[in-house]
């Protein structure tokens, strides 16, 4: 099979490489000539275990080539970003999807399959994608086969999960679903779930909205517990002993191109019917400010003005800073007048070593749960003016005896005036 994948980001590139690894002739398309040149030389631009090795294998098989323009294929996969619009409900911006579709239309022929992997709002396939294809004179379901196949993978384990996770295939027609299912049958070993396009669109969005809502509940619990001077983490631990309770962990906010974005696509599609989702977004969006307010209170009791951030990514063990609450917290602390240093071994733009970032610092704030942060070496804390850690991810396991350690369990013991942000 000849496959063209448009968009070589965190999902498009692994997908393209896997199709090639399994024997298909794949052209990966991206607008950046630097990126495509690097890929053709065997160099990747994202951090993902196993990806570079698989790329080099696909290149050795002569099955993968990166290009800035599409080529003729049997199947076209669209994996481009879908950011929020700057409107009232932050609705889904399909501009990149529409541009990607326009780029492949000169190559379309009868019996081709087009699959949109990009996360999209409900009814986008029917209301946006299908009309664009039919304007070219094709009949969807007879000449061209359209389906939405949302990605459902965890960064850091993408290469495994793309193969083994269940895959939802939502076609415009039943025949569209069958054609798209045959494409993914090239490498997917997990269950192929056949659905309608709208079902697939909403299912993906609700997977992420479910997590967003439950994280909001945990974050609100952290605020309530801090106000009431109760250990939130102990409460969560005990409540989760119940066989039908699974409270999530609180954190510094919600980031990434899924959880912080996707709920708005549902909200925008049905604003009157989604008050719970809107409230959850408000709670999670408030967490960076909540972290900063607590940092300010802690620093009022410390000597010095330097704060060190451990982690800039939105989750652990990856290099992705998209929608990261850590980046928002960093900007807010700078605006508050703090001298802010950052240490993140996964992010190129944070080049300081742990020792350098902790030099003369009065507080470490852990914002990403990288494995490297499970133990904070004394070589770091010995460099500090006053060694203290505020662990917003509740993940640090080992610190020196002289280090003051705070998390959402004992935060109320470290701060003074809690009433001002009781339920922000």
Distance CA 351, CA 353 (A): 7
Distance CA 124, CA 265 (A): 10
Distance CA 147, CA 129 (A): 10
176 is catalytic: no
Extract the tokens encoding 314.
Answer: 């939105």
Distance CA 269, CA 163 (A): 31
Of 77, 74, 109, nearest to 1 (Cα)? 74
Measured CA distances, 2 to 34, 71, 149 (Å): 24, 9, 18
> How many other C-beta atoms lie within 10 A of the C-beta of residue 405?
17
Extract the tokens encoding 125.
Answer: 């396939």
Measured CA distances, 294 to 329, 394, 422 (Å): 12, 16, 12
| Cβ pair 405, 267 in contact under 8 A | no
Extract the tokens encoding 397.
Answer: 């396991």
Distance CA 396, CA 289 (A): 22
Q: Which helix (H) or strand (E) holds 49?
A: none
**Dihedral sign from CA coordinates of 31, 35, 38, 44:** negative
258 is catalytic: yes
> How many other C-beta atoms lie within 10 A of the C-beta of residue 166?
11
Distance CA 369, CA 358 (A): 18
Of 201, 89, 217, 82, nearest to 149 (Cα)? 201
- Any idea what DSSP says for residue 169? E
Of 92, 176, 258, 358, the catalytic one is 258
Measured CA distances, 196 to 92, 121, 224, 249, 283 (Å): 20, 14, 42, 34, 33
Of 21, 204, 223, 341, the catalytic one is 204
Of 326, 377, 318, 327, nearest to 345 (Cα)? 318
Distance CA 231, CA 326 (A): 24
Q: Which residues are catalytic?
A: 204, 258
């Amino acid at each position: 099979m000849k496959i063209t994948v448009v968009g070589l980001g965190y999902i498009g590139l692994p997908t393209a490489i896997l199709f090639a690894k399994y024997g298909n002739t794949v052209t990966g398309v991206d607008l950046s000539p630097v990126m495509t040149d690097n890929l053709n030389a065997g160099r990747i631009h994202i951090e993902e275990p196993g990806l570079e090795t698989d790329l080099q294998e696909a290149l050795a098989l002569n099955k993968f080539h990166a290009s800035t323009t599409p080529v003729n294929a049997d199947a076209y996969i669209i994996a481009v970003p879908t950011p929020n619009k700057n409107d009232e409900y932050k609705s889904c911006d399909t501009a990149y999807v529409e541009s990607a579709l326009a780029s492949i239309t000169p190559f379309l022929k009868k019996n081709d399959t087009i699959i949109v992997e990009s996360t999209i709002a409900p009814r986008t396939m029917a209301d946006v994608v299908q009309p664009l294809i039919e304007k070219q004179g094709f009949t969807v379901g007879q000449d061209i086969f359209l389906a939405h196949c949302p990605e459902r993978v965890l960064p850091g384990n993408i290469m495994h999960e793309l193969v083994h996770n269940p895959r939802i295939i939502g076609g415009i027609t039943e025949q569209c679903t069958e054609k798209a299912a045959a494409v993914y049958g090239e490498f997917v070993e997990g269950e192929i779930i056949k659905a309608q396009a709208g079902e697939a669109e909403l299912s993906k969005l609700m997977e992420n909205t479910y997590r967003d809502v439950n994280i909001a509940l945990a974050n609100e619990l952290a605020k309530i517990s801090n106000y009431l001077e109760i250990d939130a983490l102990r409460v969560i631990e005990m409540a989760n002993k119940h066989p039908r309770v699974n409270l999530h962990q609180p954190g510094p906010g919600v980031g990434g191109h899924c959880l912080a974005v996707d709920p708005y696509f549902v909200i925008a599609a049905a604003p009157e019917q989604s008050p719970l989702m809107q409230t959850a977004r408000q709670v999670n969006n408030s967490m960076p400010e909540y972290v900063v307010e607590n940092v300010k209170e802690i620093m009022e009791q410390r000597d010095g003005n330097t704060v060190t951030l451990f982690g800039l990514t939105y989750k652990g063990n990856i290099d992705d800073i998209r929608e990261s609450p850590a980046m928002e917290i960093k900007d807010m602390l700078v605006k508050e007048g703090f001298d802010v240093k950052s240490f993140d071994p996964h992010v190129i733009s944070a080049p300081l070593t742990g020792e350098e970032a902790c030099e003369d610092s009065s507080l470490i704030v852990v914002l990403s749960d990288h494995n490297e942060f499970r133990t904070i070496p004394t070589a770091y804390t010995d460099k500090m003016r006053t060694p203290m850690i505020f662990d917003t991810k509740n993940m640090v396991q080992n610190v020196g005896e002289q280090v003051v350690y705070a998390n959402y369990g004992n935060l109320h013991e470290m701060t003074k005036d809690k009433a001002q942000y009781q339920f922000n």
